[in-house]
């Protein structure tokens, strides 16, 4: 009987996914769902043929270089791979795959929800009621802004950016975008989206900014202090991608001074740590990285991991294998 491949899973996954992994592979699971330390990751890569990490794992060069020769695939549970040292993996002959295409709708739903929450001050209202501070309806209480007719600037017009644009159009918003590469004209016409070559120019003219680009060396801190100053005093900033895309200290300063109207954040730089200054701002919505947190989405992510692992063990390239882009 052929020996099953060893697979190490760093976080607790949906039960149906773990059951299938247990049938197909010699699997080690994280039963208490506590994030792995560096030493635990090193033990895992010393044992496994396939590692299944998540965004909470820092699969750095030290971890990768400590792996046994048997480790040949890192099948990431998630789309973003900024927590994996891709260059170190390639140098050691380890393939890396992710789970694209299954999180698009869920993340776009959340981004649209945050646009509405921040614009209509729903977080403030919910906190008021829970704290027992609501004394009844008044004509001027927690007045926000309607989203219909507002200019939405999308930074990063990939799958999620385009899915958000479709939703925002349904709410009567005007769609603008900045992207590394301009979309083809057919897609632009379908989305009724205006392309901005200048990110600075777009930011200065938008009432709502949503950042939907991956975190890479070239996009890190893309919304730096200088760009945040270009935002309008009543504008809203949405981030459902990665915390490292925004200079959080500069964001806090602008929010406190009223130079930015509001922000809604699902991700943070250095999460699960959240800048304490953000916690005390009423004009900020804070969520615990819920972008893909649907039952359907997480199971689909697991199915992608299983497919990539099975194909790899069968001697084929994983369908979602990442190709390292050299500068």
Tokens coding 96:
């890396």
Across 230-248, average pLDDT: 97
Q: Break the chain into its structural domains and give their ranges.
A: 6-102+294-313, 104-286
Tokens coding 52:
């299944």
Q: How far apart are the first and last CA of the chain?
A: 45
Nearest to 205 by CA among 246, 152, 258, 262: 152
Angle at 288 between CA 86 and CA 141, to 5 degrees: 140
Active-site position among 6, 227, 230, 242: 242
Across 96-109, average pLDDT: 96
Helices (H), the chain: 15-24, 38-47, 61-65, 86-91, 104-120, 122-130, 159-170, 185-191, 199-205, 225-229, 248-256, 276-279, 295-313
Q: Same fold for the domain at 6-102+294-313 and the one at 104-286?
A: yes
Distance of CA 163 to the CA centre of its chain: 14
pLDDT band of 327, cuts 50, 70, 90: very low
Active-site position among 271, 273, 280, 298: 271
| DSSP label at residue 223 | B
Distance separating alpha carbons of residues 8 and 64, to the nearest angstrom: 14
Distance (Å) of CA 193 to CA 107, 173, 179, 231: 20, 10, 12, 20
Domain 104-286 has CATH 3.40.50.720: yes
- On the question of pLDDT at 326 being above 50, the answer is no
Active site residue 271: yes
Active site residue 298: no
Rg of the Cα atoms in the chain: 21
Q: What is the pLDDT of residues 51-76, one digit of tens each?
A: 999 999 999 999 999 999 999 999 99
Across 181-185, average pLDDT: 96
CATH class of the 6-102+294-313 domain in this structure: alpha beta
Active-site position among 289, 296, 311, 325: 289
């Amino acid at each position: 009987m052929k020996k099953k491949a060893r697979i190490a899973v760093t976080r607790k996954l949906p039960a149906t996914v773990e059951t299938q992994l247990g049938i197909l592979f010699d699997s080690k699971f994280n039963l208490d769902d506590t994030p792995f330390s560096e030493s635990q990751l090193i033990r895992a890569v010393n044992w496994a043929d396939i590692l299944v990490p998540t965004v909470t794992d820092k699969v750095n060069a030290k971890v990768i270089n400590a792996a046994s020769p048997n480790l040949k695939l890192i099948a990431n549970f998630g789309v973003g791979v900024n927590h994996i040292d891709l260059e170190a993996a390639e140098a050691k002959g380890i393939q890396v795959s992710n789970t694209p295409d299954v999180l698009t709708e869920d993340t776009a739903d959340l981004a649209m929800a945050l646009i509405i929450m921040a614009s209509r001050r729903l977080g403030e209202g919910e906190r008021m009621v829970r704290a027992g501070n609501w004394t009844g309806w008044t004509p001027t209480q927690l007045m926000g802004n309607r989203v219909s007719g507002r200019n939405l600037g999308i930074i990063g017009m990939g799958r999620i950016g385009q899915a958000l644009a479709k939703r925002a159009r349904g709410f009567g918003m005007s769609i603008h975008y900045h992207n590394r590469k301009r979309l083809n004209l057919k897609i632009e016409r379908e989305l009724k989206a205006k392309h901005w070559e200048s990110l600075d120019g777009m930011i200065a003219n938008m009432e709502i900014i949503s950042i939907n680009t991956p975190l890479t060396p070239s996009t890190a801190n893309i919304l730096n202090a200088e760009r945040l100053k270009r935002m309008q005093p009543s504008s809203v900033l949405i981030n459902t991608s990665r915390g490292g895309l925004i200079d959080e200290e500069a964001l806090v300063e602008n929010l406190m001074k009223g130079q930015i109207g509001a922000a809604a954040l699902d991700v943070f730089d250095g999460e699960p740590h959240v800048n304490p200054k953000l916690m005390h701002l009423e004009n900020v919505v804070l969520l615990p990285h819920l972008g893909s947190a649907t039952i359907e989405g997480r199971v689909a992510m697991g199915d992608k991991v299983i497919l990539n692992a099975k194909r790899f063990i069968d001697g084929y390239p994983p369908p979602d294998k990442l190709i390292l882009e050299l500068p």
